[in-house]
Every structure is written in C-alpha cells, then in structure tokens.
Structure 1
Amino acid sequence: MTDNSSPIPSFAGAGNLVYREPEVPRFVSGEGCWLTAADGRRYLDAEAANGTVPFGYDATLLHEALRRCEQLPGLPSFCESDLRLKVLSRLERLVSGALGTPGRVELDLGGAQAMETALRIAFAANGPGTVVVFEGAFHGRSGVTSMLSSSPRYRELLAAWGLEVVRLPNPDCRRCPHAPATGGCGTGCREAVARWGSELSGVGGNGFRRKVSAFVFESVQNVGGMVEPEHALLHSAVDHAREQGAVIIADEIFTGMHRVGPRWGFQRAGIVPDVVVTSKGLANGGAALSMVWSREPLGHPDRYRPGSHSSTYIGIPSALAMVDAVLDRWEGWTTVDKDILRLEESMRERLAAVAARHPDLVASVDAMGGTARVVLSGPHAGRLRHLFRSAHPEAGVLVATTGMAPDVINLHPPLVIGEPELDLFAEVFDTALDGLV
C-alpha cells in the first residue's frame, strides 16, 4: 500500500491533536462523509471532528454563508448588526423552545471559551466559588476549563490554580468504586453525589460563605469514553446542586444538536439546566462560534453587566452567516428524530455483528443517537485507531480515541452517513481487529 502520510514539518508546532501520531495524512478535499488525502487515498470519517461536521463535507453551506455577508464582510466585535440579532434570536429559541422558559444568548469562539463565559454568568449570580463536576469530565484545555477536566495532563502546562473544583464519583459504572456488583447506580451512588454542602464534606453549600457556584455536567462524557450518566444519578446530582443554590450548567458542546439523539443531550434524562453551552453542531466546521444560553434573569444586564464579556471575532459576519445557513439546514431536516434513531440502530447492528466475530478483543458495543462506542478488552484503542486508518487496502476510516479512555473507540460520523458507508465501516472494523491480534 502506498505511503499516504507526511512527517511533522520542522516549522509546525506538534502539540495539537493533528500529530497524535508521528505521521498523518494531508487532506486536500472532502465530500459527503469522505476525505481525500494528497496521495488520493480516501478516508471515511467516523469521527467528524468529534461532531463538528454533522452535515458532512458540504461546500454549498460555505457558499451560501458567504452570499449572506457580501455587503458586510467584516465588523468589530463591539458593533451590532441585524445578522447578529437574527442569529441570537434563532439560537435562543433552540433552547427556550425545549425548556419552556426565556433566556439570553452570548456568543464566543470555541467550546472552552464558551465554558468560561458560562462560569462568568454563574459567578455573577452566586459570586466566585467552588465548581462541581463529575470525575471523567472534559470541558476544555484552557487555563480555566483544564481545571474542570479530569485528566491532570491538561493542568501540567497551564491552569487557573485559584479555582476550586470538586469531583463527584465517576458515572462510568465500569470505573466507579461505588457501583454494586449487579451493575448500575445503586442508592449509595446517588447518595455519594449529594453529600456536599455539610460540615463533614469539605464543600460549602447554602449555609456557608464559600459555597458551590456551579455544577457542570455532560449528558454523555465523550472524552471520558462515551459514558452516559445513569439518569437517576444525574437527577440526584442536579437536584442537590439546585437545593444548594448552584447554577446548573449543561455542557452540550459535543452532545448538542442531535448528536446523541434529541436536540439536546440533557433531554435524554429530562434535566432542566440554567445555562446551556454548545458549539460543534452550529457551524458544520465552517466557522469558530459557540453559544451560551442562560435563563432569565441570569443574563440580565442588571446581573451580568455589559463589559463582563468580550471576544474579538464573535460578531464577524462570515461566522454568523455560517451559523445562519446551518440553522436553515437544521430547520429543513423535518425527519431528523426518525433519521437519527435509524442511524443509531444501524450502527448498533453492525458493531454487534463485528464484535461477535472478535469476542476476545471487543468487550461491548453500544450506540446513542449519532454516536457509538466500542469497549475493547484492553488499552488497545490507540493502536486500533491506526489500523482503522491503514489496514484496509481500499480505504481508511477515521475514528476517535482519548487518553482518558484507552480501551474505548469513540464513533461519531456525520449524521448524514448512509447505509453503504456503514457497510464499509463494518468491513474496515473487521480488518482492523484482525490486525490487532
């Protein structure tokens, strides 16, 4: 097979995820669910940039966005525009329509920046205080969000050490020491996430000056290994946090916009958050923009004063136009719920069939909406990711792995992936597992 990769250039910084391996393909074009490398080898995208490209590689979205901002190609971030107001209004309705309560929308660039904005809103309401998250969480790699994320690697080079973070027990029953032998979250698990706010817990609540300002959760922990907290466990954590006066922040950066089934991941468990953060599903990879929705009165100017937040490019018309065009695409997808359920079933069926042929290598498989996970019998995810890319003679497949879950392959292809592509994925999966032996 022809070598389709390039070594790290001497002028390229190698600290980002592009260079997880010493040699990587250089992509020159993309269409649908496919990317093509410089040597002509094609790759089926079963990672979709971790959910950033729900509609696949579709240049018509970019062309449509550019047409919407021809008369206003650039604008300083402190200037208002009709386009920005239109996008804000549309985004606000995406959340308020699901929660049945009005709110306000702030914009930011990436997911980590949006999480920091969400914390600003919570601190404006409650004062700076402790933030509670689940063990296994990932909320970004910035100085602040690296403190929320579980892996200590994110805090080795840059971290906001003044931020106090408390971690609740891991919601992954495979890793949680509280999980009963029968599986699932027992009474002890649900009590464990609601013990803080007392003299004994070491974490302040309503009766203390230093209290918890925010509880932040992912409805599905992507980087943690595609783990969905048991719904009763999540309700216990949210209910207790709300009783203690904490702002409930739903991190929907990855799970939002039908990635795990419904429009918002928190709808799977019936949770009602105070703040919703999302990003990846809004611009189909064509712009850097994220959204922070907060219920009234959290974002009201009397509480969250003008000047509390600013970012240079959040008003740039090309990014706003990209979101506007993608929102049109979402609104036009009238069968999305049915189609995502069909995708879930199709992925689960194919994964189960391949897993049955490799019982010594695959411990379990499952699917949730437009995502799926493969739990391996050992920490082989990194090697298997390489085999997905290289083992099959006709095409490679791009899959996701994380250091926080070295025994899990994460799958989140474009939501428009079809049956022929899924058939090919299963074939490549089979070949890759053969190479793992």
Structure 2
Amino acid sequence: MPIPQRRRLVTAIPGPISKELMSRKAGAVAAGVGTTMPVFAARAAGGIVEDVDGNHLIDLGSGIAVTTVGNSAPRVVEAVRAQVAEFTHTCFMVTPYESYVAVAERLNELTPGTHDKRTALFNSGAEAVENAIKIARAHTGRQAVVVFDHAYHGRTNLTMAMTAKSMPYKHGFGPFASEVYRAPLSYPFRDEVDGPTAARRAIEVVEKQVGGANLAAMVIEPIQGEGGFIEPAAGFLSALIEWCTANGVVFVADEVQTGFARTGDMFACDHEGVVPDLIVTAKGIAGGLPLSAVTGRTEIMDAPHSGGLGGTYGGNPLACAAALAAIDTIVEDGLTARAREIGTLMLAELQRMRAVDPRIGDVRGRGAMIAVELVRAGTSEPDADLARAVAATAHAAGVIVLTCGTFGNVLRFLPPLTISDGLLAEALEVLRDALTTLA
C-alpha cells in the first residue's frame, strides 16, 4: 500500500490546514453542500484516508460505498491512465467506443438471471433510476410507480418523490413528480412480521391505492441504504416479484449501494435468488469514477425509441475503463468472499457489544454493509442524538463513520473490501470506547 495501513493522529480533528480549507469552502461553496467530517483528504488507499494535516483515518465509509475495491486500486489507476492518454471523450451517441460495449457485456453477464439482456450507461444512481422508470413506462404504457417506506433513490425531482426521508433530501424542494406511490416495507426489527406476510400487506396497499393495471414499475432496494440498512425478511422480495410478474409490472432492483460484492454476493438479489426485470447499478461500479447503469430484459430495455436514452457523458470512456478494471479486481481478487469475511468479523464483534449494551437495539446487514440501530435503553425508541454523538466521537478518534436511517439513529459501516482485519478490529474498538464514553 502507498500509505501505511494504520490509524495515526498528529493533530486534533480537524487540523489547522483542514480548518483553513473549511473556511475557504464556506466562502466559495454553496451552503447546501454539507460534509460529514470537517477534514480534507489528501490521499487514500486500502482502509486509510490521509488528510491534509497528515492524519491517517480508518475508512468505514468508502465514499458512501463507492471505493469498494479500495481507493486508487492499481488496476483502476492503470486503466484510467492508459485511457486518458488515448482520448477523454467523444460522446458514445456521436462516435461510440468499444469500452462502453464491453461494460454492457460484463453487466449483462454478471447481473442476476440467464435471460437475454441489454444495458444502458449513465452517470449517477439517480439518473439511472429515472431512466429505469422511463424504460418501464415505455414498455408497459402505464405511468404509476410504487416505492417503499424508508427508500432512498436520489436527489433529482422524480427520485426525490421516490425517496421517503424529508430532511435533508426533500424539505423545501417540491412540488415533486406525480404518480409515485408508497407501500410498507418489511422492517424485521420494528414490525416482527415474516416476509410473505409483509409482502401481502404491501400488495394490499398497492392494489387498493394504485391497481396493478395502472402500475408501470415497483422499485425497491434489496437492502435499504439511507433508510437504515434495513434487510427485508426472507420471502418478502420473492413474493413481490411474483405479484409483479402476474400483473405485468416491471420489478426494478435499485442496487446502487448494494451492488458489486458489497453484500457478499455480486448483487444483493443473488442472496435469495431474486431475478429483477431491471437492475440499477452505480457507486461501486467504477472504483470511484462516475458511472451508472440500467441492465435488464431485452424486450423491456429495447422499448424506448432510438434516441430516447442517453446523455452527453453517459458511459464516459474514462469511467468505462475504470469499471472494467474494478470488475476484474472484484472477480480476480475474490472480493465477494472478502466481503463475507468482513461481515463475519464485524457482526460477531457488534453482537458482543449488543449483548452488554441495551442502547444497541439491532445489529444487521450482510457482507461489508453492516449497521447498528441505536435506541433508548430498554425501548425501541430511536436515539438519533446518541448516533450523532457516537459518530462524532469516532471522527475525533480518527475513524470515518456514517449515520443513516429514517429516524437518524443508525450507524452504518461500508468499509472498502481491501481493508485489513487489523484496521477493522481497531475501528470497532474505537466504536466500543465511544459507546462506553457516552454511557
């Protein structure tokens, strides 16, 4: 690794250079662009982010599940370096290039299901979600879209309507796109309902409020991201997709955060053998470069007219080169298995903490997508203040920790799959000390 893989604090967090840069940020960057930590990155590799003051921070965020293969992964760096020397952009819709086709071929091969598939490339997860809706509407001739409680799908107008959480994503930004409806999710920690029963509850809402004949698409994250890393009970997803198939509804899996080995399978849908009609991917797809995709059944993907899909930067050649290298890294370095190892290590230690701390209401997740839901001791009442305090204490100790959840009370862990066991153990020790300090 080009950076020593150890936590090191040489200044308080933030240090003097970061403070100076935060002052410049305040004078130059729109106030609506917030930051989790008041430190500026200088370098990153493996499980460490080095800030401009020389502090080495343990990375449990991966840029929100983006640097899954590690920051500046060698194959990715080399692929981008080679591509930028050839050309940086032509627009695939003007003069196409082979790497776009190669990424589409890899996604068609790797995503769930053996049916014939096609792929279109875009820039961000939200953009890909919007295009999945366009494709579903073109295929079905219907307009309505169903999403779920606690969902997060993006920050554009349509995806804000699809997102459940008001602050900070929706507040003050309406009116939103119409024909978006919300159904109840399976949330095992809070509803204690089995998957098929929870699915029947959701389907009943959909049938009463929307009607299958009006519904173009049902969109769901196989494990909720911003909503709190909620993993639906077994059988929930399969029951939903069975209903969608029977009613001619396009089932869309939003795997923007769960995709590309993050959950211990190449895609989270693989865990239950669920095969979506369309799958949306982004984040970990290209090792840190902006790229997203919609992949799905050929007869659905080919429904829009020629020219109806695309965009100036969609499938940029640098991002495509990075994606091919990132996928090679996942496959050749066995990173799905590594994600499962990380999950085993983290879940075991977090469950030990839960056994002695009644403020830890739930520990959940798969692979390297793990969460702790914090509550007021002896209850299931969300404790967002504690989550913020624990994260802030960890930040001050040099560990990057993110929060999430509809109630703001969930600590989420998304380490790069190249992180060492030693760094994970040290980060969890910092977390334990933070909880003890805040007892």
TM-score norm. by structure 1 comes to: 0.88
Q: Please list, as runs of the form range in 1=range in 2, the aligned pairs for 1:354-365 lying within 5 A after superposition.
A: 354-357=353-356, 359-365=357-363
Bigger shift: residues 236-245 or 48-57: 236-245
Return the alpha-carbon distance in structure 1 between the equivalents of residues 229 and 137 of structure 2: 29
8 Å contact 1:204–1:212 — kept in the other structure?
Answer: yes
SS in 2 for 1:328: helix
| Residue of 372, 386, 407 corresponding to 2:392 | 386
Q: Which moved more, 1:127-136 or 1:65-74?
A: 65-74
- 1:166-208 C-alpha deviation (Å, 9 max, x unpaired): 2111321344xxx3xxx3327653321222565xx131223xx
Which residue of 206, 209, 214 maps to 1:202?
209
Corresponding residue of 1:63: 78
Q: Tell me, yes or no, if the aligned pair for 1:133 and 1:165 is still in contact at 8 Å.
A: yes
Q: Which runs of 4+ in 1 moved over 4 A?
A: none
| CA displacement at 1:278 relative to structure 2 | 0.4
- Cα displacement string for residues 273-331 of structure 1 (whole angstroms, at most 9, x for unaligned residues): 1001001121111x11101102021122xx22111122111243212111122122123
What is the count of residue pairs matched by the alignment?
Answer: 411
Paired with 2:316 and 2:274, the residues of 1 have a C-alpha distance of: 33
Asked if residue 102 in structure 1 is aligned to residue 116 in structure 2, the reply is yes
Identical aligned residues as a percent: 26
Q: Distance in 2 between matches of 1:228 and 1:250?
A: 14
Number of the residue aligned with 1:73: 88
**Which of 31, 39, 58 is 1:44 aligned to?**
58
Which residue does 1:308 correspond to in 2? 308
Equivalent residues of 2:120, 2:310 under 8 A apart: no
- Farther-moved stretch of structure 1 (136-145 vs 363-372): 363-372
CA-based RMSD: 2.0
Partner Cα separation in structure 2 for residue 159 and residue 290 of structure 1: 26
Distance 2:406 2:195 in 1: 24
Among candidates 171, 174, 188, match of residue 186 of structure 2: 171
Q: Give the aligned residue type for 1:371.
A: M
More helix by share: 2
TM-score, length basis structure 2: 0.88
Partner of 2:98: 82
Matched-pair contact (CA < 8 Å) for 2:216–2:249: yes
- The answer to whether 1:10 aligns with 2:32 is no
Q: Deviations over 1:118-166 (max 9, x none)?
A: 0110010112411111111111111110111101343334356342122
CA change 1:151–1:33 in 2 (3 A) is: same
> After the TM superposition, which residues 1-400 of structure 1 pair with which residues of structure 2 at under 5 Å, given as runs?
2=12, 3-4=14-15, 5-6=18-19, 7=22, 8-18=25-35, 20=36, 24-58=38-72, 60=74, 61-78=76-93, 79-95=95-111, 98-153=112-167, 154-159=169-174, 161-175=176-190, 179=191, 183-185=192-194, 188-196=197-205, 198=207, 201-206=208-213, 211-285=214-288, 287-300=289-302, 303-333=303-333, 335-357=334-356, 359-377=357-375, 378-379=383-384, 380-390=386-396, 392=397, 396-400=398-402
Aligned to 1:432: 434
Unaligned runs of 5+ in 1: none
SS in 1 for 2:399: strand
> How far 1:87 moved relative to its partner?
2.0
Alpha-carbon distance change, 173 to 366 in structure 1, aligned in 2, over 3 angstroms: closer
8 Å contact 1:196–1:204 — kept in the other structure?
A: no
Contact 1:225 1:373 in 2 (8 A): yes
| Cα 1:280/1:129, change in 2 over 3 Å | same
Relative to structure 1, the CA distance from residue 426 to residue 133 in structure 2 (aligned partners, 3 Å threshold; closer, same or farther) is: same
Structure 1 distance, partners of 2:243, 2:54, is 55
